[in-house]
Homo-oligomer: A and B are copies of this chain.
Amino acid sequence: MLLKSQEHLSVLKVIIITALLIIFTSSLSVSTDVDDSLAYIWPLPAQFSSGNDTLSVDPALCLSVSGKGSGLKIVEEAFERYKAIIFEHEVEGVNSHSVFNNFRKRRSRGFDIGTLKIVVHSDNEELQLGVDESYTLLVAKNEGLSIIGEATIEANTVYGALRGLETFSQLCSFDYDTKSVLVYKAPWYIQDKPRFAFRGLLIDTSRHYLPVDVIEQIIESMSYAKLNVLHWHIIDEQSFPLEVPTYPNLWKGAYSKWERYTVEDAHEIVSPKGINVMAEVDVPGHAESWEETFNSFASNLNPRTVVHNWLGGGVCPKAVAKGFRCIYSNQGFWYLDHLDVPWDEVYTAEPLEGISDPSNQELVLGGEVCMWGETADTSDIQQTIWPRAAAAAERLWSRREAISTGNITLTALPRLHYFRCLLNRRGVQAAPVLNKLVQVYGSEAAFCMPTREEYVCSQQPGAVL
């Protein structure tokens, strides 16, 4: 039984409507718990440089889209979503509210960044495996004649533009002193592209049904970590929740009449949001124990088959050696329902392990973290997915050299703590990074992001997390 200690309970129970404030600041102070030498962007961009300027961003930030893809609605919609995220502290009509203006120290000279320019070169918005997701992002003081600074995203496709928007949103921080959104360490010059084309998350709606709203929350949260494939494992032996109009009896295999997806629901789920939703219907349905398909049937597989490696290591190396393409999901590290796997084991699992030949390496399309549904439902799925799925996301996006050297407790962990807090601020129920079992009972009263000392200590052998 887990009970908090009674001594720590708040017991002042006479209701106080107006309160006398007692000044007791002497013993309290905001901790400075960020290592400024790190770039707090998750996943880490392929190439970037930063400087020492601080730029302010106008809450009335404008969008200016150009290029052949400028007519595509998806960029404009994403810009509006990100604007709401970036200016979360902005209150509508606040400028005309005298109470607030008294305490608002808005810069009189205006803002450094008033427009975000997005250039999209292609008008093709087909979202296929291998779609170009590269982008260039520049955030700098304008050095020309204009006094206005500049923020520009340039991309070949709308999907590159979406990834750039996410990065831009992560550069924007709310500053509590000036009450404005600032970009620190400008000028930023970022050239970015993913290491792998396939960066997936599996959800399983057969073992526990997930409502459409919840699936859409998950899709939204995936875009924050630049994952790009939702592998929707719709059915399995436990239930068949999907409507198949030509076989109207199939979804009678749902758990209940409410735990079903209409074709309209499915259409809504797979509709364009910058994430490829791969809907999977098992054929012929599961038998009781199913082996790694490749291990048993390699000689019968069509050479165009993509082998999804779910068992331990060693399968992808064998598959690519035979010329098959491969997706990595080593269950020892990337099955998110294995609650005892800590973030660093997820982070260091390497899809190319054991594959040294460059042409074989190219056959590894990427990887997928798997949120199997036997023991997670609506109430705890997000905290089981995050933040560990983000650890895999960086492995799949960022350059291998950049994230595989040095002490990850110092280079990756503080950034992952920060990203977890970012997810929380965006309303995503990501669990603390260092929970011993990811889902179980929260830690004691604490910082969202532990102080540097705390997370370094907690990595020592034998430490209680």
Residues of A that sit less than 8 Å from B by CB: 1-4, 7-17, 19-25, 28-31, 33, 88-91, 94, 99-100, 102-103, 174, 176, 179, 204, 206-209, 211-214, 217, 233, 236, 238-240, 243-245, 247, 249-260, 262-265, 267-268, 278, 280-286, 288-294, 301, 305-310, 327, 329, 331, 337-340, 372-380, 382-383, 421, 424-427, 429-432, 437, 439-449
Cβ B12 vs Cβ A282 within 8 A: yes
Residues of B within 8 A of A33 (CB): 256
Cβ A13 vs Cβ B375 within 8 A: no
Residues of B within 8 A of A289 (CB): 7, 11
Which of B213, B251, B285 meets A22, CB within 8 Å?
B285
Chain B nearest CB: distance from A140 CB in Å? 25
Given the known inter-chain contacts A15-B306, A290-B12, A424-B379, please indicate yes or no for A441 contacting B443, CB distance below 8 A. no
Chain B nearest CB: distance from A64 CB in Å? 28
What residue in chain B is nearest A288 (Cβ atoms)? Answer: B7
**Bound Cα distance from A340 to B2, whole angstroms:** 8
What residue in chain B is nearest A233 (Cβ atoms)? Answer: B10
Given the known inter-chain contacts A247-B23, A255-B448, A442-B376, please indicate yes or no for A265 contacting B11, CB distance below 8 A. no
**Bound Cα distance from A141 to B301, whole angstroms:** 61
Given the known inter-chain contacts A12-B282, A305-B14, please indicate yes or no for A265 contacting B442, CB distance below 8 A. no
**Bound Cα distance from A309 to B209, whole angstroms:** 40
**Bound Cα distance from A305 to B15, whole angstroms:** 8
Cβ B236 vs Cβ A10 within 8 A: yes
**Bound Cα distance from A211 to B89, whole angstroms:** 11
Chain B nearest CB: distance from A28 CB in Å? 3
Chain B nearest CB: distance from A290 CB in Å? 4
Cβ A444 vs Cβ B374 within 8 A: yes
Cβ B10 vs Cβ A283 within 8 A: no
Most buried by B among A251, A378, A440: A378
In the complex, 5 of the A-B residue pairs with CB atoms within 8 angstroms, ordered by the A residue number, are: A9-B372, A13-B309, A258-B448, A379-B430, A379-B442
Cβ A374 vs Cβ B25 within 8 A: no
Cβ B100 vs Cβ A263 within 8 A: yes
What residue in chain B is nearest A92 (Cβ atoms)? Answer: B268
What residue in chain B is nearest A451 (Cβ atoms)? Answer: B256
Chain B nearest CB: distance from A112 CB in Å? 21
Given the known inter-chain contacts A12-B293, A15-B306, A91-B268, please indicate yes or no for A247 contacting B379, CB distance below 8 A. no
Cβ A11 vs Cβ B291 within 8 A: yes
Chain B nearest CB: distance from A172 CB in Å? 13
Cβ B249 vs Cβ A427 within 8 A: no
Cβ A383 vs Cβ B375 within 8 A: no
Residues of B within 8 A of A442 (CB): 208, 375-377, 379-380, 439
**Bound Cα distance from A123 to B129, whole angstroms:** 57
Residues of B within 8 A of A258 (CB): 174, 421, 425, 448-449
Residues of B within 8 A of A429 (CB): 378-380, 382, 429
Residues of B within 8 A of A255 (CB): 30-31, 446-448
**Bound Cα distance from A403 to B255, whole angstroms:** 29
**Bound Cα distance from A3 to B291, whole angstroms:** 18
Cβ A212 vs Cβ B88 within 8 A: yes
Given the known inter-chain contacts A10-B290, A372-B10, A445-B207, please indicate yes or no for A22 contacting B339, CB distance below 8 A. no
Residues of B within 8 A of A310 (CB): 9, 11, 13
Cβ B28 vs Cβ A252 within 8 A: yes
Given the known inter-chain contacts A282-B16, A292-B11, please indicate yes or no for A383 contacting B379, CB distance below 8 A. yes
Given the known inter-chain contacts A283-B20, A284-B22, A442-B379, please indicate yes or no for A179 contacting B262, CB distance below 8 A. yes
Cβ B308 vs Cβ A103 within 8 A: no
Extra pairs beyond A16-B282, A31-B255, A206-B445 (4, CB < 8 Å)? A17-B278, A103-B243, A103-B245, A380-B439
Most buried by B among A16, A236, A281, A448: A448
